[in-house]
Structure 1
């Protein structure tokens, strides 16, 4: 069932006429001088109506102050700035309150191991006497007093709310559920998504709202519908009992004036093989508009039917006002991983321009029923390339590399919606990481301009039958596991797996069973973040590789796990509110098979994400694209970053592979667009034409979104610079005068 049905009675209640005066008045009413939520404010525009920094003086920006993180954790954190206080993560996952004008520590709540690492949210009562920081930690929702830094123990049950409850499943079967992003505050509610994982039998990604004062679960919307609910017939019977995903792990946007929340919904599991989820799979891959107070569906649009490519919606939907067909329209624009920008009337859900359902290839896999059509916008052009072609291979390949890829292209299949196969390689661009991903959208709302940070990053993959966790390690599987270890684990656990920043992994098989390993890898533990994009097959291979370490190495003594250290400074508390192990740790009885009476596929097929080929295509590999959605056209496009390897060969304006993921933008009312880029760069672009007006080099690479704020008329920009450089970048962390891993704050000189 593909028609996007609308509840007309609800729409009539919220429809509000729009004109020029309202458009500008509403903009200035919602503008603020702080960065009060993840992404700035509930609209997620990253737009700041601050006037001190402009085109004429942006080149004078200097470092105003820095705050060292004092550890080696890679923080993807988006700081909050409330009045004169900045809240950051540092010092072994401690929450630190700083004077936002000087960087001086005010208080430290130490050792919040397991906290959502991308940020937190803020709420205050109308009289501002009650101020709370709201965050997820170890599968719970918790709060800290923003003034004192101490846990609020009368919230929920002894200070916590279990996020494993309220999903329509036995909580003891759920491994992980807390989101990797902090949700969105609306009135006295915290709206939450989740990150339940992308493997078979992951938890469902139902979206929820909790009361900020009491912790009460106020509403749940089932993204995998239950019997009798709209969309139930787009799944097999009883799919809600075993299907997972269809979750919001990205950024939630709220139209505060109308009370409408826009949730970007991700893919159902398993991502690449859907024989157990025949149908279009609502509400997977949907832009979902809900009444923020009740959770009632207002409208939805599905951007991918029966997803087989991990084309989650993650980037923040952008709320804009445009001139369309002679009238002002309040619209919402959703940028997707597959490189499309979908634009709708934000009240009715009607597309501003036609969207066509076009035929796409069928699947050859047993039991798989790929959906026969997919939606394509007809006017608004895509912001990425969408085809892997021989004439667009990387021009810096050696003749041998090019010849190998020409043979692989000839033997494989390429195309945006080409289904995965176990008989040949499938090559798609954009791949699993986009396109547009987390933090990759911003806007100038009143002018109808949307900015997308995008990357042309292909995926190359091939399905294989899923082997039991105890299956033999073939040479190919072992090689994949070694590559995975080098990519994700080696920097902390050492080249020989004997430990370093992280504990030893020697003799792992005798200490940790497969289910525990899988849960820890997915959810993280202590300083270790969760790696939710490592697929089931690769997790299995990695465990086999680590568990099969030769006896000589396994005999080495395992270094003791260090006890949490209380950092220096004004520590007011340590640790989160204690929670039962069955909530924080692995499930007592994880779901491993289909429920009784549900016929699952005899064989499951899996693949890795095929992300080893970031520079397969010709540059640019990362860009910022500006859209004028009054006309549905691209206003400008400019590369983001410079690949150091290509620069040695004379290339310029390449962008950097994977250069926009986990980065962010800020748009100002003075016509500037600030953006971070892989390679430790902060740029200021002219928002009207994309010209680089200023840039600066950071001593460390940056991952989290930047933030902007003002105190007593002085305007600041803060960037998290604490990640190590990679081979695509120039390593400046060891140069003379380099800063330590830090939050770096820029301002104009006095």
Structure 2
């Protein structure tokens, strides 16, 4: 009898995709929802640490663990993939990261219909790979170069590996990609690969080719040269209908589109594809001709709501602008009206900002969408407040879609604000969605190519490339292949300072510039490359960060917003997390600063989440009230996993991120710049 009951219990778990955690985000639908019921509002305060597993290094991790076959899969040990006993945290096997870092936010799990085979699929150093999920041994012959098949020379594709895994549909792995941020980035094709062979099965081109739907929303040759419009974040799958939902990002370059005039489908869109074939089912574009970097950065949430007296299978997409977009997921029709409103024109030569943008009329926005001089951080000195106030007042500031220009322009909630990866959870059958958001304003300013200011908007390699052009190019060739790793950074700096052979010492080059030149010479592939764009403009991301390291806007900096999408209303909104040194002074409602906070909601009315203040918390999903909290060894970035082993429910957090525990050094309280001592921490009832 006991054996029969155990079999029935296991069978029930297998039939309920939300009762296991064998997929990134919990299940194919990326709901970040658990149907397990052992831990509830009554007993959550009794949670204790069941086990911990050290990451074994001081690296920073934001990995969502997966569980299958009694194992828990995590990233640790300098980026290696590690299998643990899910009930004890004991290490079983390790796949070392000797060939480069694996997908940093999670991996995919596949199991054959007869349950005889199971695989872990992930990208590593631009290569799609597979392991035997039970043993950790690589699958022989399975290695697909993701730079190929994009219609570009693979040698020119520097970045294509996403931080997040894709979704498995039957024997297909459907994936997006993370392109670079430059004009020469790769196109953001959505691709499906065989989980058995790694072979490319289908592609959906987000920058359409001639004859494809949306081709007329770009210049005629854009498909040959323009990149981005990619899905770098998370995707969701309706397994019943066989539809995969893809939230896409901006075309590149992020802040200037003179080389890509038009609406630019399928950039910044929610695209529904037939998961078996890649054929478009429907789409909706949230930003036309994006020049703000307003990506759709969270997984869309598949929910069922009561709307106009009928039950509707819907989909909700949270974005960087602070809007929550809600559609019928079968046909893409909005549940509430979306208005096309006129927005400001660009004054940048060659740019043609799209004249209108879509604005949802319902539900209300979850983030602040404007910034004035009355909204500044109250914890600043009078001098710094005056400086920031002057910056805001002197900038162009005409709302959410103020185009970047040669004069500074204000962004709010910012290109790194609003909702980001892992930032939303849902109760699928009740139409409830919970969104974590940050308000992080920015001031953008475009700089013309060829200037030092333009070079400074990128990394050290691009800056070094500019200095090299000014100081070295007259005597040295631009072809750097002859160097080919011959010198170290210190050797290159020494040659610049002291000379070598017929080359004299370059006394006019500062130590800082010498270091930048060395960065370029060591990694020229990471510098900027020539393109056919007649005039290029560049901007930094322009984050408005104060001398204390905090945002220039007044708190709350991070919020969680609860939506009832049966009504299209906000149930509650709370500040999420704290900045400890401010909390010690009585300022407890600031919200954490600069989070990547990923919630998980449960059938028992709990929301589990962690923040960069080292705290994990359980909230009441009805009210947002904190019911339980616990301090972990490091900050939290990424979502927890909830699963059951041998009748016991576990909640596991990856506590391995830099902790924003203090704003800055103060007497007796040094700034917290200590190395991360990360671990995976599992909680359970006694």
TM-score bin, normalised by smaller chain: 0.7 to 0.9
Contact between 1:172 and 1:589, CA under 8 Å: does it hold in 2?
no
- Quote how far apart the aligned CAs of 1:39 are: 1.0
**SS of aligned partner of 2:374:** helix
Corresponding residue pairs, total = 627
CA distance in structure 1 between the aligned counterparts of 2:277 and 2:457, rounded to whole angstroms: 50
The corresponding residue for 1:592 is 530
Contact between 2:493 and 2:514, CA under 8 Å: does it hold in 1?
no
Cα separation, partners in 2 of 1:212 and 1:480, compared to 1, 3 Å: closer
Contact between 1:625 and 1:636, CA under 8 Å: does it hold in 2?
yes
- Quote how far apart the aligned CAs of 1:726 are: 3.1
**SS of aligned partner of 1:392:** coil
The corresponding residue for 1:546 is 515
Contact between 2:48 and 2:685, CA under 8 Å: does it hold in 1?
yes
Cα separation, partners in 2 of 1:689 and 1:548, compared to 1, 3 Å: same
Question: Structure 2 residue aligned with 1:421, among 405, 409, 413?
Answer: 405
- Could you say which structure has the greater relative contact order, defined with CA pairs below 8 angstroms and 6 or more residues apart? 1
**SS of aligned partner of 1:263:** strand
The corresponding residue for 1:64 is 50
Contact between 1:202 and 1:243, CA under 8 Å: does it hold in 2?
yes
Cα separation, partners in 2 of 1:66 and 1:459, compared to 1, 3 Å: same
Question: Structure 2 residue aligned with 1:722, among 656, 665, 671?
Answer: 656
CA distance in structure 1 between the aligned counterparts of 2:652 and 2:607, rounded to whole angstroms: 14
Contact between 2:658 and 2:676, CA under 8 Å: does it hold in 1?
no
Correspondences of 1:579-658 after superposition (within 5 Å)? 592-594=530-532, 600-601=533-534, 603-613=535-545, 614-658=550-594
- Quote how far apart the aligned CAs of 1:314 are: 1.4
CA distance in structure 2 between the aligned counterparts of 1:241 and 1:390, rounded to whole angstroms: 44
Question: Structure 2 residue aligned with 1:80, among 66, 71, 82?
Answer: 66
Cα separation, partners in 2 of 1:202 and 1:115, compared to 1, 3 Å: same
**SS of aligned partner of 1:546:** helix
- The question of 1:712 aligning with 2:646 is answered yes
Contact between 1:671 and 1:687, CA under 8 Å: does it hold in 2?
yes
**SS of aligned partner of 2:228:** coil
The corresponding residue for 2:324 is 341
The corresponding residue for 1:744 is 681
Q: Deviations over 1:124-152 (max 9, x none)?
A: 01121101000001111110001111100
Cα separation, partners in 2 of 1:94 and 1:588, compared to 1, 3 Å: closer
CA distance in structure 1 between the aligned counterparts of 2:381 and 2:516, rounded to whole angstroms: 38
Cα separation, partners in 2 of 1:739 and 1:508, compared to 1, 3 Å: closer
Bigger mean CA offset, 52-61 vs 399-408? 399-408
The corresponding residue for 1:143 is 130
CA distance in structure 2 between the aligned counterparts of 1:270 and 1:307, rounded to whole angstroms: 9
CA distance in structure 1 between the aligned counterparts of 2:354 and 2:515, rounded to whole angstroms: 39
Q: Give the CA RMSD over aligned residues.
A: 3.1
CA distance in structure 2 between the aligned counterparts of 1:59 and 1:254, rounded to whole angstroms: 34
CA distance in structure 2 between the aligned counterparts of 1:447 and 1:546, rounded to whole angstroms: 56
Question: Structure 2 residue aligned with 1:459, among 437, 442, 445?
Answer: 442
CA distance in structure 2 between the aligned counterparts of 1:542 and 1:136, rounded to whole angstroms: 38
CA distance in structure 1 between the aligned counterparts of 2:530 and 2:150, rounded to whole angstroms: 18
- Quote how far apart the aligned CAs of 1:117 are: 1.4
Question: Structure 1 residue aligned with 2:162, among 179, 182, 189?
Answer: 179
- Quote how far apart the aligned CAs of 1:30 are: 3.6
CA distance in structure 2 between the aligned counterparts of 1:129 and 1:420, rounded to whole angstroms: 55
The corresponding residue for 2:467 is none
- The question of 1:701 aligning with 2:635 is answered yes
- Quote how far apart the aligned CAs of 1:83 are: 3.6
- Quote how far apart the aligned CAs of 1:159 are: 2.4
Question: Structure 1 residue aligned with 2:299, among 316, 327, 334?
Answer: 316
The corresponding residue for 1:11 is none
Contact between 2:57 and 2:677, CA under 8 Å: does it hold in 1?
no
Cα separation, partners in 2 of 1:28 and 1:379, compared to 1, 3 Å: farther
CA distance in structure 2 between the aligned counterparts of 1:733 and 1:54, rounded to whole angstroms: 39
- The question of 1:133 aligning with 2:69 is answered no
CA distance in structure 2 between the aligned counterparts of 1:78 and 1:422, rounded to whole angstroms: 41
The corresponding residue for 2:600 is 666
- Quote how far apart the aligned CAs of 1:544 are: 5.0
The corresponding residue for 2:345 is 362
The corresponding residue for 2:358 is 375
CA distance in structure 2 between the aligned counterparts of 1:624 and 1:258, rounded to whole angstroms: 31
- The question of 1:273 aligning with 2:209 is answered no
The corresponding residue for 1:568 is none
Cα separation, partners in 2 of 1:382 and 1:396, compared to 1, 3 Å: same
Cα separation, partners in 2 of 1:146 and 1:624, compared to 1, 3 Å: same
Question: Structure 2 residue aligned with 1:352, among 335, 359, 381?
Answer: 335
Question: Structure 2 residue aligned with 1:51, among 5, 23, 37?
Answer: 37
Contact between 2:426 and 2:601, CA under 8 Å: does it hold in 1?
yes
The corresponding residue for 1:111 is 97
Cα separation, partners in 2 of 1:478 and 1:204, compared to 1, 3 Å: closer
**SS of aligned partner of 1:723:** coil
Contact between 1:306 and 1:370, CA under 8 Å: does it hold in 2?
yes
Cα separation, partners in 2 of 1:152 and 1:587, compared to 1, 3 Å: farther
The corresponding residue for 2:480 is none
CA distance in structure 1 between the aligned counterparts of 2:197 and 2:495, rounded to whole angstroms: 40
CA distance in structure 1 between the aligned counterparts of 2:526 and 2:403, rounded to whole angstroms: 36
CA distance in structure 1 between the aligned counterparts of 2:273 and 2:320, rounded to whole angstroms: 22
CA distance in structure 1 between the aligned counterparts of 2:382 and 2:80, rounded to whole angstroms: 50
The corresponding residue for 1:330 is 313
The corresponding residue for 2:503 is none
The corresponding residue for 2:270 is 287
CA distance in structure 1 between the aligned counterparts of 2:163 and 2:296, rounded to whole angstroms: 14
Correspondences of 1:253-268 after superposition (within 5 Å)? 253-268=236-251
Which ranges of 4 or more aligned residues in structure 1 deviate by more than 4 Å? Answer: 26-29, 471-474, 476-482, 507-512, 541-545, 585-591, 729-735
**SS of aligned partner of 1:638:** strand
Contact between 1:383 and 1:625, CA under 8 Å: does it hold in 2?
yes
- Quote how far apart the aligned CAs of 1:35 are: 1.1
Question: Structure 2 residue aligned with 1:35, among 21, 25, 44?
Answer: 21
Taking structure 2 as the reference length, the TM-score comes to: 0.86
The corresponding residue for 2:482 is none
Q: Deviations over 1:280-299 (max 9, x none)?
A: 10000000000010000010
Q: Deviations over 1:551-609 (max 9, x none)?
A: xxx9xxx9xxxxxxxxxxxxxxxxxxxxxxxxxx9979996322xxxxx33x2111110
Cα separation, partners in 2 of 1:545 and 1:709, compared to 1, 3 Å: farther
CA distance in structure 1 between the aligned counterparts of 2:524 and 2:178, rounded to whole angstroms: 15
CA distance in structure 2 between the aligned counterparts of 1:733 and 1:745, rounded to whole angstroms: 30
- Quote how far apart the aligned CAs of 1:189 are: 0.6
CA distance in structure 1 between the aligned counterparts of 2:240 and 2:83, rounded to whole angstroms: 31
CA distance in structure 2 between the aligned counterparts of 1:253 and 1:430, rounded to whole angstroms: 25
- Quote how far apart the aligned CAs of 1:473 are: 8.5
Question: Structure 2 residue aligned with 1:250, among 233, 249, 259?
Answer: 233
Contact between 2:209 and 2:223, CA under 8 Å: does it hold in 1?
yes
CA distance in structure 1 between the aligned counterparts of 2:137 and 2:394, rounded to whole angstroms: 60
Question: Structure 2 residue aligned with 1:120, among 107, 120, 139?
Answer: 107
Runs (5+) with no aligned partner, structure 2 = 1-11, 465-486, 497-509
Q: Deviations over 1:679-713 (max 9, x none)?
A: 11111000111111111111111222211111122
CA distance in structure 1 between the aligned counterparts of 2:658 and 2:103, rounded to whole angstroms: 20
The corresponding residue for 1:439 is 422
CA distance in structure 1 between the aligned counterparts of 2:51 and 2:93, rounded to whole angstroms: 18
Taking structure 1 as the reference length, the TM-score comes to: 0.79
